[in-house]
Amino acid sequence: MEFQKATIIRAADKDGVKMPRSEYVFHLSSYPAQQNLGFYEGYYPNTALEYNTHYHKKMTEIFTVLEGTFSFMLNGAATVFHRGDTAIIPPMSPHGFKPLEQGSRLQFIFTGAGNREDFFKSLESIAHGKLQLNPSEREAFFNSHDQYFF
């Protein structure tokens, strides 16, 4: 029998991005998980974020509220989530969320996600104006990362 070695990821070695209205820490990158799983944390210092309702064709997302309160748009209706509440969003399920309290935190788990780190890093560049995309390039960017807007 051959034993496997555990992977250790120190806090100082974790990557992430910072945008004007949110910050994300990549606790578990999709890279060591064969691009099948990602475990992130989002921090929202204010309530300016909007729903940005979207869907994924391949990816399942699991959200758990760590701190604060969020409104999730699920199944065509807004639902308030408090600390400890979880939403499991299968592929082809329109969804979006927004923080209702300053300093709210949300845990994200992605399955079947592919490379979400590059998505968030590119999104950071777009948010800070470092990457300029025309409307068709912007749509192609989101579609290439399995994210489709209405």
Residue 40 maps to which CATH number? 2.60.120.10
Total domains in the chain come to 1
Other beta carbons within 10 Å of 136: 8
Whether residue 4 lies inside any domain: the answer is no
Please tell me whether residue 18 adopts helix, strand or coil conformation. strand
Per-state percent for the chain, helix, strand, coil, to nearest 5: 15, 40, 45
Q: Which domain holds residue 89?
A: 15-149
Whether residue 41 lies inside any domain: the answer is yes
**pLDDT at 117 exceeding the cut of 90:** no
pLDDT digits (tens, 9 = 90+) for 27-67: 876 555 556 788 899 999 999 889 989 999 999 999 999 99
Whether residue 10 lies inside any domain: the answer is no
Whether residue 2 lies inside any domain: the answer is no
Whether residue 7 lies inside any domain: the answer is no
**pTM, two decimal places:** 0.81
Whether residue 99 lies inside any domain: the answer is yes
Quick one: tokens of 107? 């845990």
